[in-house]
Amino acid sequence: MSDTENRKLFVCYIPGADLRRLNPANAPYMAGLLQSYPMMVFTRGFPTTETLSTIITGARPNEHGVWQATLRSDGQLSWMDRVMDALPDPLTTTVQCVLYQLGRFGEMPTIPPRRRRRLEFRRVKFRGSADTSEMLTKVGDVESVFRIIGATECSYRFSDQFHARARLLQEAVSGTHKLEILQFHGLDVLSHWRLDNEQAVRQYYRLTDAFVRELHEKCQARGVTMVLSSDHGQETVRGTVDLRRALRGSGVPEDEYTVFIEVMMARFWFHSPAAREALTRVLSKTPHGRVAAFEEFGRYRMDLADGRYGEVFFLMDPGYTIFPHDFYHPVVNCYFGLKDWQQRRRAHNPRHYAYHGYATVCDAEKGFMTVLDHRYRTDGQEHELIDMAPSLLGLLGYPKPASMSGHPRFHR
């Protein structure tokens, strides 16, 4: 058996692990790893909060197709659609949220039906912590690292529960897969809702640090190379913008445009020239953000060929968010606030305390990938998130496929 055939990787992927906080005071073990082993610092470049699809395909959102929402073509309204549209939005969205929790409703139940039916959602979301690598072999039409390596040779697990560390440690690093990815999402959730509590945040980083140390020791014991990675940090939220109020104040009828509002970005499709002119003017006067047409997205390393993902975007400045947004609903906040201790604050204050995914590159938008093996080296330059997938393949001895826009950055 060749060295390439025998290589095994365990990727500890910790969204929200902020490079600025990985220091000897907060995370001495991880700080030491970053100093001792080859590390690639990267930026995402484009505005999004969902990066898993890019991480495993090495392609940008406009290439793999997962980027929140696109506009549906107009269809005939059924009698049921007309009945739903006549009901109050709080009633219909509450029913949708209840059905969603029962597993009987699709994406984005927080959006009223009349807007929701105009949108086709392009998102990757999983519930539970089972191995879902077989579900991720392709993202859109783009093959992922799991397809290239072989789904049976890979494992991907997701956990957003910070207190699940003991169970995750027991299950992780099986030693039977060529590529095993653990997405430890609990630190990210806690940062969104508790970053203003410095003492608590330090404790979360110290506990995460101890968890990483135990995972590394297990990898060393089983002859598995560990990769430590994060795709972003967290920017403290300093203020919010009520975009819905600005839209209502524009006087433009709601049926003349379609909007999808994220926490750090809103995208618009216009159904009349007058709506485009009026709303673009309103957006340009809205503080703490800027307007960008889809033709301008080359500056964000995404060449959008048309307006399917949005004709005009409103991009928030780092440290500012849109509230309320299309993920917000009182029922949802009460549910998660009561169910999940990590999000307890949502029950009484649903505004995020920290966020990421901004178009503007700032320190919070920098991620890293560190290979805990001294046999590898990198050039020490800043690269892009799309380089992570081909780098993982390169570490395992696989060539980069043509579908990947990124490049391998670690070499022996």
pLDDT digits (tens, 9 = 90+) for 316-345: 999 999 999 999 999 999 999 999 999 999
Average pLDDT for 202-209: 98
* Average of per-residue pLDDT values in the chain: 93
pLDDT at site 218: 98
Pairwise CA distance, residues 47 & 287, whole Å: 18
Q: Which residue has the higher pLDDT, 381 or 75?
A: 381
**Model confidence, pTM:** 0.93
Residues 334 and 387 in one domain: no
CA 284 to chain centre: 27
How far is residue 365's CA from residue 15's CA, in Å, rounded to a whole number? 11
Domain boundary among 351, 383, 407: 351
Same domain, 186 and 295: no
In a domain, 69, yes or no: no
Specify the pairing of strand 354-355 against strand 235-236.
Answer: antiparallel
> Looking at this protein, which amino acid is placed at residue 209?
D
Domain span at residue 142?
A: 3-63+125-234+359-395
Residue 378 inside a domain? The answer is: yes
- In this structure, are 188 and 298 located in the same domain? no
Instruction: Please tell me whether residues 19 and 152 are part of one structural domain.
Output: yes
Rounded CA gap, 259 and 159, in Å?
A: 31
285, part of any domain: yes
Residue 370 belongs to a domain with what CATH number? 3.40.720.10
3-state percent helix, strand, coil for the chain, nearest multiple of 5:
40, 20, 40
98 and 130 co-located in one domain? no
CB burial readout 38-61, b (16+ within 10 A) else e: bbbbbbbbbbbbbbbbbbbbbbbb
Rounded mean pLDDT of 143-151? 95
Residues 135, 56 contacting (CB under 8 angstroms)? no
Same domain, 189 and 325: no
Least reliable range by pLDDT among 23-32, 70-79, 148-157: 70-79
pLDDT at position 76 is 76
Rounded Cα gap, residues 65 and 2, in angstroms: 37
Is 402 within a domain? no
pLDDT > 70 in the chain, percent: 96
Confidence of residue 127 (pLDDT cuts 50, 70, 90): low
Q: Tell me, yes or no, whether 58 and 166 share the same domain.
A: yes
Torsion of CA 276, 282, 287, 289, to 10 degrees: 0
Identify the top-confidence range among 69-83, 120-134, 151-165.
151-165
Checking if the pLDDT of 147 tops 70, the result is yes
pLDDT tens-digit series, residues 102-125: 888 888 999 999 999 999 998 876
Specify if 68 maps to a domain: no
Say what the pLDDT of residue 307 is: 94
Share of the chain above pLDDT 90, in %: 84
Region 13-27: mean pLDDT is: 97
Residue 39: CA atoms inside 13 Å, Cβ hemisphere, count?
17
Domain termination site, one of 117, 134, 150: 117
Ranges of beta strands (E only) in 277-335 are 289-293, 312-316, 320-322
pLDDT, position 126: 58
Asked whether 322 and 266 are in contact (CB, 8 A), the reply is: yes
pLDDT value at residue 1: 42
The per-residue pLDDT for range 62-107, each reduced to its tens digit, is: 999 999 999 987 777 888 889 898 999 999 999 999 998 888 888 8
Question: Do 164 and 288 belong together in one domain?
Answer: no
- Please indicate, yes or no, whether residues 347 and 366 belong to a single structural domain of this protein: no
Considering the domain boundaries, does residue 70 fall inside one?
A: no
pLDDT at 4 over 80: no
Domain check: are 146 and 289 in the same one? Answer: no
Query: Per the structure block, which two tokens stand in for 317?
Result: 């400045």
pLDDT for res 361? 84
* Separation in Å, CA 386 to CA 45, 293, 310, 405, 409: 10, 23, 22, 7, 11
pLDDT at 144: 96
* Spatial distance between the Cα atoms of 378 and 363, rounded to a whole number of angstroms: 21
Structural domain contains residue 406:
no
In a domain, 412, yes or no: no
**Contact between 22 and 208 (Cβ < 8 Å):** no
Residues 37 and 90 grouped into a single domain: no
pLDDT value of position 239: 97
CA-CA-CA-CA torsion sign (263, 193, 128, 230): positive
Residue carrying the six token digits 């030693």:
175
Half-sphere exposure in the Cβ direction for 24 (13 Å, CA): 2
Confidence of residue 360 (pLDDT cuts 50, 70, 90): confident
My answer on whether 139 and 101 are in the same domain is: no
Give residue 196's pLDDT. Answer: 94
For residues 337-354, average pLDDT: 93
pLDDT at position 77 is: 82
How many domains would you assign to the chain? 3
